[in-house]
Amino acid sequence: MENVVLIIHLLLALSLIGVVLLQRSEGGGLGMGGGGGGAISGRAAATALGKVTWILAIAFICTSIALTIIAANNSAGSSVLDRLSDQPTATETTDEPASDLLPPTTSDTPLVPRAD
């Protein structure tokens, strides 16, 4: 279920990016954009792309909330500290001595520290 919602969420994000990039710039940010008609009137007429943008944005927010709820349900009753204390440490899991972790030598004699 989580994977399905996540895929839908990613598709919505990509669609929202595409629709926003297709729209004509109507803002006055940085002195760029088209015409001053929007600044004089109270509200510009809604275009089809504007409506699609709103629909995609609402769907994106809904999937974000759904993913948050799913993640909260998956981790309910457990904390990060509980999960850390449940896992065995490295010394508990290895039954082999630490000398087995050394790289192989060219001779069959065991490694002995030199006393200099």
Taking only the tens place, the pLDDT of each residue in 97-112 is: 556 666 666 665 655 6
Total number of domains constituting the chain: 1
Domain that holds residue 69: 1-17+48-74
Residue 61 lies in a domain: yes
Q: Which residues of 42-61 are buried (b: 16+ CB within 10 A; e: fewer)?
A: eeeeeeeeeebbeebeebbe
Output the CA–CA distances (angstroms, integers) from residue 43 to 21, 46, 51, 92, in the order listed: 21, 9, 14, 68
Query: What pLDDT, in 10s, does the model give residues 25-66?
Result: 766 555 555 555 555 555 566 788 889 999 999 999 999 999
Asked whether the beta carbons of 9 and 64 are under 8 A apart, the reply is: yes
For residue 22, being part of any structural domain is answered with no
Give residue 6's pLDDT band: very low, low, confident or very high (50, 70, 90). very high
Confidence class of residue 7 from pLDDT cuts 50, 70 and 90? very high
